[in-house]
Structure 1
Amino acid sequence: MIFSRGVYIVLFSFIFFTTKAQQWPASFEQLGSKLPTPNTYRTGSGAPGEAYWRQKVDYKIKVSIDDEKQVLTGTETIVYHNNSPDVLTYLWVQLDQNVRKEGNIKDVTNITGIAPQMSTKKIVRELGAYDYDGGFKIHQVTDNTEADLSYFINRTMMRIDLPVPLKSGEVYSFKMSWSYNLYDRMIINGRGGYEYFPEDKNYAYTVAQWYPRLCVYDDYEGWQNKQFIGDGEFALEFGDFDVEITVPADHIVSATGELQNATQVLSAEQQKRWTLAKKTFDKPVIIASQEEAEAREKNKSSETKSWHFKAQNVRDFAFATSRKYIWEAQAVKLPTNTVMAMSVYPKEANPLWANEATKAVKNALEVYSSRTFDYPYPVAIAVNAANQGMEYPMICFNGSRPNKNGKYSQRHVSDLVDVVVHEVGHNYFPMIVNSDERMYGWMDEGLNTFLELETKRERYPDLDTIWGSPKSMTVYHIRFDQWLDAPMTNPDITNFSGYSDYGQASAAMNVLRNVIMGKELFDKSFKTYANLWKFKRPKPADFFRVMEDASAIDLDWFWKGWFYHTAPVDVAIEEVKWYLLRDSSIQPKAKYGVQPNYFSLDETPDFAYREFRNLIDDDKIRSDFRSKSFYEITFKNAGGLVSPLVLQFTFDDNTTISETIPAEIWRYNESKVTKVFYFDKVLKSVALDPHDLTGDIDTRNNVFRMY
């Protein structure tokens, strides 16, 4: 652009005096070097590049549970496909159970303290003062010829040295055998373990992180072998699983994948019910009833059965087993797939789970599929487990039970819907859109919390729809602001993961959809991201870039503010000045609390036309503006996070209009801006963000009343 000298000086003076309080508009500086340089693996548009690759790991596992001693024993054959362009000389394996091994880094580094009053349970957990021999017992690591492989263990990671370097395109197979003691989740906090029911002396096992599993090797950082401390979850490779689970013969087993031997483990009646369920779309069909479960509780079998499951293209495998389980299933028709939605639960979860659980699975599948891609797996299972919420491919473990007398309230329903929808939703993020949970918790927890909230808005409008909204973040900023960490912070070092990993990213998606991009454009862009990266491994930069590339909106300021920093939205209406033309047709009334200022409109001077020959109709403009009220509004950014201005104007006849000003209004000055609005009516009041769309933490300064 070329300016004449005079115009340039005027423009420079405007920018200088507007920004003199702040030397550089930092929020609107591009992310630039904060994002990795695009390459053939990951493009500048955020899409996978033409050379993108990922490894594949297949598992064939046999596992058994000793129901008397609560010991899990397993053997596995692992087939590692090196699809990378690199030569590998060793493999890294995750040993997640070692997070509970004596001397583990979690317990050693936990900050502990004594309170004036503590429960026995709390002090036992606080000090780790329980009698439990934790961690994997590795019995053998061999190649396919049964020759021992060299390995060493560093806390929760095992390095296996390969006898011969594994070249690009090659496959390596090896075997492992192991065991570990399952733990009581009532005492020891963990994602897998068992729950004991003293009334009938039975156990329910929710089994997770139970087998040694390969670490991720990718184009971004090589081996993801960051130690598992407890909060940062998992980075895993896709592969195929063939798993045989041996348990007491009267157990019901639910697992990742499809059951291969139903005729051997189910009764004839249960097989008939299962066949019926596959054709039933309007309600759940009971496969294993409560009456049958109660009979199994009393007559404990001393024999065993092996349940055989297969799963393709999944990144993990989990299962649940108990003689206490009730099992129901319902077919869910999606545009390109029919899925069996299932619930598995003990009688202690009834009647709440019978009434609500499978329906919640179905609702999650339908809403998430409409926003991303059709659920590609054959089953989706919710398993009831006390005080738990954890996700795995095709199966999740969920709390929420009625009172002991069987009665439950709307709060119980809300708790169940929250946890089931959320954990089933994790099938999409990160089980399919396979982000690195160990490093970026918000990429699965935050995006999933957002879609959980969307599911509740669509299917459960009478339940709590606050959590995950911008409004839900205000309490963190008001009470814990100095301890907050940005979502880009590693999950293991965040003070409040509810804020950093879950709520803040979800709130951000709400602002992005409902205020900045609009619902239609956001939904198209979000679906683009999900489909580009399903069954692949996206990083934050990939998400940021896709959302911009698919929408034509520069969002660098937004990612910086919402994901790299913790400053809150707090915009104040500092001042409103009312202006009228000196010969205005509007006559101020005595009731108006704010009296108008008057200004004149002069003829446009000749020099303002420069080389143009056509002229402005000064008289017409003055005539048009005589009936207008002008309002110069000053907005102050008290919180530090730049934000769109969502405004509602109320006039003296009590009519209203709304207007949203994009956040770019702060691009010259992030502290204070003014903007003039003019109307045919006299303004009664102006409100900023009246519907809590932006997460403004202090709404006391959001309304200015003229009278």
Structure 2
Amino acid sequence: MKNLLKGLAIFGMVAGPLAVMAQDTKFAQLGQELPTPNTYRTASGAPGHQYWQQRADYNIKVELNDEKQSITGSETINYTNNSPDVLTYLWVQLDQNIYEPNSIANSTRTASLENRMSFTAVEYMTREAFDGGFKIKSVKDRGGKALKYTINNTMMRIDLPTPLKPKQSFAFSIDWNHNINNQKTLGGRSGYEYFEQDGNYLYEMAQWFPRMAVYDDVNGWQHKQFIGSGEFALPFGDYKVSITVPADHVVGATGELQNASQVLTSTQQKRWAEASKSTKPVVIVTQDEATKAEKAKAKDKKTWVYAAKDVRDFAWASSRKFIWDAMNVKVAGKNVMAMSYYPKEANPLWGQYSTESVAHTLRVYSKHTIDYPYPIAISVHGPVGGMEYPMISFNGYRPEADGTYSDRTKYGLISVIIHEVGHNFFPMIINSDERQWTWMDEGLNTFMQYLAEQEWERNYPSRRGEPQDIVEYMKSDKSTQVPIMTNSESVLQFGNNAYGKPATALNILRETVMGRELFDYAFKEYAKRWAFKHPMPADFFRTMEDASGVDLDWFWRGWFYTTDQTEISMEDVKWYTVDSKNPDIENAKKREELNKQPKTLSEQRNLQSISKTLVEQNPALNDFYNRYDPLATTDADRAKYKTYYNSLTPEQKKALDAGLNFYEVNFRNNGGLVMPLIVRMQFEDGSDQIVNIPAEIWRYNNEQVTKVFVTEKPVVSFTLDPFLQTADTDLSNNAFPRKLAPSRFELYKQNSQQQPNPMQQQRESTGQNTNTNSGQ
């Protein structure tokens, strides 16, 4: 019994009425919130035996006009109907139409005027309209006959000449062109950057061709308009893309290069062969070669041909400014080429960190999800701060002109590459519907980014993932929050809601609710089940429960369907000990307690002001009670105790002699989220113990519970959530006795000048070159 009771919390008692067990309980199962399982999507969260998805294969030819910053393209799409439905029309996405002056995105953009306005803000509001959007020249069937089509903002419906039956395919072609946006002034997920010093352009091309929309068993056609936040839902297919650019441009793209002998010099081909066997980055196009190309500006053209299998999209980048390096990464025994393309302005930072970051991402994500299946993974530096596509990503961050950089820039670069390359897994392979549910790709990927960052370096300064980093958002004004389960275009505080909160929720699931072993197995199972398929939120929720054996409906409900917060307080603690009945022991305790009692203020002053009491002056006034000690133990007391003790069973004697301490601790849920209780008990001898209590302690009463902790050693303090595991928004009520949490304020002198980064400061003080890499 002694070992079983040692330091354990053995009693949990409900405080408050049991009426809260009604339907508003936090532990109600997710019933109406989740769709009914069927033969396409099962109750376990796995694809059903009749699961299906459509397919779209592309053959595209595109030419870049480096003088006018535009492209002209022609594509053939072979669309396969794997659904059980007969289709009479197809929907195609025209995402470039977001740049049309009258697009929904432009028409609904809001702004406000202030008494003081910056020139930048005014220039943005009064800028010349950009002639953006797709110019559709023709839509034809395989035989060259024109097809009827209707453009509705960012969507185009193509009416089929005859219904497309199940298991049939339909091929059609689209000819089109569009101007390329200046990403620095118009923003967006693609565009060009102009380098004024050398008069060259760097292009990052995405959403650049008409793309098939998704038709699935949940939504039918996913043809929600692209307004700007909700990204993309796309079917898988094979691509062959021919990209014609100025002859001195270097092109990186989704897929594998098919005609290296025609577009690379023999020296560059040898470097490629070397890189394919190297575990460190090998430069294929050097900085010297890129600098010469910047000055020469060839007028003739080259066509780069790329092919990719089973991808949901295709993106590319092109510039004569590109340096190109690559290395080999082993993933489950398979060779994968990790590569980077970047201008000289990105060195020395990119040459040192970009490709290594790509390789690291592939290793860590493959360990936790599925083995990376593609042959290529690319990081490109240009105007886009961070965006993802199959096998290729666009990433920001570059050093200062003098080659120095801050730690924020360094870690910002590593983090954005991990994040964007990581998107190959979510949603490029585990292909969720970004137009509807941003969190399914951004949230899951941000969680994986956090794991990869922590494996990069001890104490890596991750921005998202740790519970305490989401606290400020969780306790912010409720009017500025929406549940995670909100359509992508309606999300408020996009970064916190779609990235930070779901990533934190998954970290809490892994570390505090499920434990790493159960979580990692279930998360990997989700990735395996839905690789190269179209999962929905219910598929994720159900798989995590199905593969772990943990009921998580309370967690999904609280974290994903509400804006509740974790704010649990430790209201009070009461200490009880067992009355041993032994008069020697109990009287000694009472005497000790009596001696510890402080003298009252009056008593203290009376000792000074009353030199002698009357009884002290006249001893004749003393009697029995002046000599009587009520805490003295008599032989009769001892005999009575002995009789009582001998009447007990051996088990009862053991319990009486144990000298246990009982602590009744009352907890209150002030924030709405039910969460596990992690309690630290600090003992009188300096040791401590952690007790983890599952969230189910709240199942009878969501608002208040009382727990009894039984210990052998006296406890001097209790702390709730000592390791900041639950994103508790108020730590001031997490300790008993209460502890003051210090804060600080800063005195500063306003200075509008940009401060030098630490590398520049070191250079100025020592005159030394602080660059860690001189470039490639």
Name the TM tier (shorter chain): over 0.9
Inter-partner Cα distance in structure 2 for 1:333 and 1:669: 52
Residues 343-376 of structure 1 show CA distances to partners (whole Å, capped at 9, x for unaligned) of 1101111000011111111110000000001100
Aligned to 1:636: 668
Q: CA deviation at 1:482?
A: 2.5
Aligned to 1:549: 546
Aligned to 1:196: 194
Inter-partner Cα distance in structure 2 for 1:17 and 1:86: 54
Aligned to 1:623: 656
Inter-partner Cα distance in structure 1 for 2:156 and 2:654: 78
Aligned to 2:286: 289
Residues 390-414 of structure 1 show CA distances to partners (whole Å, capped at 9, x for unaligned) of 0000000000111111101321111
Query: Contact between 2:26 and 2:558, CA under 8 Å: does it hold in 1?
Result: yes
Aligned to 1:176: 174
SS at match of 2:548: coil
Inter-partner Cα distance in structure 1 for 2:306 and 2:680: 57
SS at match of 1:554: coil
Q: CA deviation at 1:593?
A: 11
Inter-partner Cα distance in structure 2 for 1:399 and 1:263: 31
Aligned to 2:750: none
SS at match of 1:186: helix
Query: Contact between 1:487 and 1:505, CA under 8 Å: does it hold in 2?
Result: yes
**Cα RMSD for the two superposed structures:** 2.0
Inter-partner Cα distance in structure 1 for 2:120 and 2:316: 27
Aligned to 1:317: 314
Q: CA deviation at 1:17?
A: 4.9
Structure 1 residue 105 corresponds to structure 2 residue 137? no
Query: Contact between 1:468 and 1:502, CA under 8 Å: does it hold in 2?
Result: no
Query: Contact between 1:25 and 1:670, CA under 8 Å: does it hold in 2?
Result: no
Q: CA deviation at 1:130?
A: 2.9
Structure 1 residue 136 corresponds to structure 2 residue 169? no
Query: Contact between 1:106 and 1:230, CA under 8 Å: does it hold in 2?
Result: yes
SS at match of 1:27: coil
Structure 1 residue 421 corresponds to structure 2 residue 441? no
SS at match of 2:690: strand
Query: Contact between 1:326 and 1:344, CA under 8 Å: does it hold in 2?
Result: yes
Query: Contact between 2:60 and 2:75, CA under 8 Å: does it hold in 1?
Result: yes
Structure 1 residue 461 corresponds to structure 2 residue 458? yes
Inter-partner Cα distance in structure 2 for 1:92 and 1:24: 42
Structure-to-structure mapping, 1:2-81, within 5 angstroms: 17-20=16-19, 23-81=22-80
Q: Amino acid of the residue matched to residue 181 of structure 1?
A: N
Q: Amino acid of the residue matched to residue 169 of structure 1?
A: K
Structure 1 residue 116 corresponds to structure 2 residue 148? no
Q: CA deviation at 1:18?
A: 3.5
Inter-partner Cα distance in structure 2 for 1:706 and 1:66: 69
Aligned to 1:648: 680
Q: Amino acid of the residue matched to residue 189 of structure 1?
A: G
Inter-partner Cα distance in structure 1 for 2:199 and 2:547: 56
SS at match of 2:128: coil
Q: Amino acid of the residue matched to residue 134 of structure 2?
A: F
Q: Amino acid of the residue matched to residue 50 of structure 2?
A: A
Query: Contact between 1:234 and 1:436, CA under 8 Å: does it hold in 2?
Result: yes
Aligned to 2:154: 156
Query: Contact between 2:15 and 2:706, CA under 8 Å: does it hold in 1?
Result: no
Q: Evaluate the alpha carbon distance shift between residue 437 and residue 576 of structure 1 in structure 2; reply closer, same or farther with a 3 A threshold.
A: same
Rg larger for: 2
Inter-partner Cα distance in structure 1 for 2:333 and 2:666: 53
Query: Contact between 2:316 and 2:392, CA under 8 Å: does it hold in 1?
Result: yes
Aligned to 1:439: 436
Q: Amino acid of the residue matched to residue 437 of structure 1?
A: E
Aligned to 1:703: 735
Aligned to 1:271: 269
Inter-partner Cα distance in structure 2 for 1:332 and 1:312: 20
Inter-partner Cα distance in structure 1 for 2:282 and 2:597: 67
Aligned to 2:713: 681
Q: Amino acid of the residue matched to residue 456 of structure 1?
A: E
Q: Amino acid of the residue matched to residue 654 of structure 1?
A: G
Residues 143-184 of structure 1 show CA distances to partners (whole Å, capped at 9, x for unaligned) of 111110000000000000000000000010000000000011
Structure-to-structure mapping, 1:150-549, within 5 angstroms: 150-281=148-279, 283-386=280-383, 388-549=385-546
- How many residues of Structure 1 are paired with residues of Structure 2 in the alignment? 671
Q: Amino acid of the residue matched to residue 440 of structure 1?
A: W
SS at match of 2:665: strand
Residues 29-63 of structure 1 show CA distances to partners (whole Å, capped at 9, x for unaligned) of 00112111110000000000000011010000000
Q: CA deviation at 1:706?
A: 8.4
Aligned to 2:755: none
Q: Amino acid of the residue matched to residue 443 of structure 1?
A: M
Inter-partner Cα distance in structure 2 for 1:417 and 1:469: 18
Query: Contact between 2:15 and 2:701, CA under 8 Å: does it hold in 1?
Result: no
Q: Amino acid of the residue matched to residue 299 of structure 1?
A: A
Q: Evaluate the alpha carbon distance shift between residue 685 and residue 20 of structure 1 in structure 2; reply closer, same or farther with a 3 A threshold.
A: same
SS at match of 2:475: helix
Q: Evaluate the alpha carbon distance shift between residue 671 and residue 616 of structure 1 in structure 2; reply closer, same or farther with a 3 A threshold.
A: farther
Structure-to-structure mapping, 1:546-585, within 5 angstroms: 546-583=543-580
The runs of 5 or more residues in structure 2 that have no matched partner are 1-12, 599-647, 740-776
Q: Evaluate the alpha carbon distance shift between residue 518 and residue 15 of structure 1 in structure 2; reply closer, same or farther with a 3 A threshold.
A: closer
Query: Contact between 2:230 and 2:488, CA under 8 Å: does it hold in 1?
Result: yes
Inter-partner Cα distance in structure 2 for 1:460 and 1:261: 39
SS at match of 2:186: coil
Q: Amino acid of the residue matched to residue 314 of structure 1?
A: V
Query: Contact between 1:529 and 1:547, CA under 8 Å: does it hold in 2?
Result: yes
Greater shift after overlay, 489-498 or 113-122? 113-122
Inter-partner Cα distance in structure 2 for 1:214 and 1:634: 57
Q: CA deviation at 1:652?
A: 1.2
Query: Contact between 2:183 and 2:384, CA under 8 Å: does it hold in 1?
Result: no
Q: CA deviation at 1:479?
A: 3.4
SS at match of 1:34: coil
Q: Amino acid of the residue matched to residue 390 of structure 1?
A: M
Q: Amino acid of the residue matched to residue 629 of structure 1?
A: N
Q: Which has the higher contact order (CA 8 A, sep 6+)?
A: 2
Q: CA deviation at 1:705?
A: 2.6
Q: Evaluate the alpha carbon distance shift between residue 58 and residue 706 of structure 1 in structure 2; reply closer, same or farther with a 3 A threshold.
A: closer
Query: Contact between 1:576 and 1:634, CA under 8 Å: does it hold in 2?
Result: yes
Q: CA deviation at 1:660?
A: 1.0
Greater shift after overlay, 138-147 or 334-343? 334-343
Residues 470-502 of structure 1 show CA distances to partners (whole Å, capped at 9, x for unaligned) of 212111133343311111101101111112211
Q: Amino acid of the residue matched to residue 190 of structure 1?
A: G
Taking structure 1 as the reference length, what is the TM-score of the superposition? Answer: 0.92
Q: Amino acid of the residue matched to residue 273 of structure 2?
A: T
Q: Amino acid of the residue matched to residue 401 of structure 2?
A: K
Q: Amino acid of the residue matched to residue 292 of structure 2?
A: A
Residues 644-674 of structure 1 show CA distances to partners (whole Å, capped at 9, x for unaligned) of 1111111111111111111111111111111
Q: Evaluate the alpha carbon distance shift between residue 429 and residue 198 of structure 1 in structure 2; reply closer, same or farther with a 3 A threshold.
A: same
Q: CA deviation at 1:264?
A: 0.4
Q: Amino acid of the residue matched to residue 678 of structure 2?
A: V
Q: Evaluate the alpha carbon distance shift between residue 592 and residue 25 of structure 1 in structure 2; reply closer, same or farther with a 3 A threshold.
A: farther
SS at match of 2:399: coil
Inter-partner Cα distance in structure 2 for 1:49 and 1:208: 33
Inter-partner Cα distance in structure 2 for 1:153 and 1:632: 68
SS at match of 1:685: strand
Q: Evaluate the alpha carbon distance shift between residue 705 and residue 479 of structure 1 in structure 2; reply closer, same or farther with a 3 A threshold.
A: same
Structure 1 residue 661 corresponds to structure 2 residue 693? yes
Inter-partner Cα distance in structure 2 for 1:480 and 1:249: 55
Inter-partner Cα distance in structure 1 for 2:399 and 2:326: 21
SS at match of 2:41: coil
The runs of 5 or more residues in structure 1 that have no matched partner are 1-13, 595-614
